[in-house]
Amino acid sequence: MAAMKPAHYVNGVFSTTGETFPLLSPVDGSQVGVVPEATRDVVDSAVRAARAALDGPWGRSGVEERCAFLRRIADGIEARFEEFVDAEVADTGKPRELAATVDIPRAIGNFRAYADLSYGRPERAYPTTVPGWSGSGQALNYTVRRPLGVVAIISPWNLPLLLLTWKVAPALAAGNAVVAKPSEETPSTATLLAEVIDEAGVPDGAFNLVHGHGGAAAGEYLTSHAGVDAIAFTGASATGAAIMRNAADHVTPVSFELGGKNPALVFADADLAEAVEGTVRSSFTHSGQICLCTERVYVQRPVYDEFVRALAERARTLKDYGPMISAEHRDKVLSYYRLAVAEGATVVAGGGVPSFGDARDGGFYVEPTVLTGLPQTARTVREEIFGPVCHVAPFDDEDEAIRLANDSPYGLAATVWTTDLSRAHRVAPRVEAGIVWVNCWNLRDLRTPFGGVKASGIGREGGEYSLDFFSEPVNVCVKI
Ligand code: NAD
pLDDT tens for 192-229 read 999 999 999 999 999 999 999 999 999 999 999 999 99
Residues 6+ apart with CB under 8 A from 289: 158, 324, 325, 386, 387
**Rounded Cα gap, residues 442 and 234, in angstroms:** 17
Pick the CATH number of 262-445 from 3.40.309.10, 3.40.50.1950, 3.40.50.920, 1.20.1440.230: 3.40.309.10
Ligand 1 atom closest to Cα of residue 215 = 18
Average pLDDT, the chain: 97
- Closest protein CA for atom 43 of ligand 1: 291
Q: For residue 329, which atom of ligand 1 is closest to its CA?
A: 25
Phi-psi region of 462 (alpha: psi -120 to 50; beta: other; left: phi over 0): left
Give nearest CA residue, ligand 1 atom 26: 156
Determine if ligand 1 sits within 6 Å of the CB of residue 284.
no
Quote the pLDDT of residue 3: 72
* Nearest CA residue ID for atom 15, ligand 1: 214
Q: Find, among 423, 417, 408, the residue nearest to 453 by Cα.
A: 408
Ligand 1 proximity of 160 Cβ (cutoff 6 Å)? no
Domain ranges of the chain: 8-258+456-479, 262-445
Give the residue among 469, 465, 464, 444 at the shortest CA–CA distance from 116. Answer: 464
* Atom 12 in ligand 1: residue holding the nearest Cα: 214
Say whether pLDDT at 1 is over 70. Answer: no
Q: Are 434 and 451 in contact (CB under 8 A)?
A: yes
Contacting residues for 331 by C-beta, under 8 A, at least 6 apart: none
Distance 283 CA to ligand 1 centre (A): 19
Distance 403 CA to ligand 1 centre (A): 28
Q: What confidence tens digit (pLDDT) does each residue in 411-462 have?
A: 999 999 999 999 999 999 999 999 999 999 999 999 999 999 999 999 999 9
The tens digit of pLDDT for each residue in 103-126 reads: 999 999 999 999 999 999 999 999
The rounded Å distance from CA 395 to ligand 1 centre is: 33
pLDDT at 131: 87
Atom 6 of ligand 1: nearest residue by CA position? 156
Based on DSSP, count helices (H) and strands (E) in the chain, helices before strands.
17, 22
pTM over the 0.75 mark = yes
Closest-CA residue, ligand 1 atom 39, reads 257
Residue 239 Cβ contacting ligand 1 at under 6 Å: yes
Q: How far is the CA of 442 from the centre of ligand 1 (A)?
A: 20
Residue nearest to atom 22 of ligand 1 (CA): 214
What's the one-letter identity of residue 477? Answer: C
How many alpha carbons lie under 13 Å from residue 384 in its C-beta half-sphere? 24
| Per-residue confidence band for 236, with pLDDT thresholds at 50, 70 and 90 | very high
pLDDT in tens, 13-64: 999 989 999 999 999 999 999 999 999 999 999 999 999 999 999 999 999 9
Q: Check pLDDT > 60 for residue 357.
A: yes
The answer, yes or no, to whether residue 144 has pLDDT greater than 90, is yes
User: HSE-up of 66 (CA within 13 Å, CB side)?
Assistant: 28
Is 384 near ligand 1, meaning CB less than 6 Å away? yes
> Band of the pLDDT at 299, cuts 50, 70, 90?
very high
Q: Report the percentage of the chain scoring pLDDT > 70.
A: 100
Spatial separation of the C-alpha atoms in residues 256 and 234, rounded to whole Å: 6
Q: How far apart are CA 186 and CA 25, in angstroms?
A: 10
Residue 41: Cβ within 10 Å count: 10
User: What separation in Å is there between the alpha carbon of 257 and the centre of ligand 1?
Assistant: 9
CB of 212 shorter than 6 A to ligand 1: no
Q: Which of these, 90, 77, 442, 135, lies nearest to 281 by C-alpha position?
A: 442
Task: Find out whether the beta carbon of 257 lies less than 6 Å from any atom of ligand 1.
Answer: yes
Catalytic one of 88, 185, 257, 384:
257
pLDDT at 2 over 90: no
Span from the CA of 13 to the centroid of ligand 1 (angstroms): 27
**257 an active-site residue?**
yes
Q: In the predicted model, is pLDDT for residue 96 greater than 80?
A: yes
User: In Å, what is the CA distance from 218 to each residue of 43, 44, 209, 251, 366?
Assistant: 7, 10, 11, 20, 30
CA angle 57, 58, 63 (to 5 degrees): 115
Architecture of domain 8-258+456-479 in CATH? Answer: 3-Layer(aba) Sandwich (3.40)
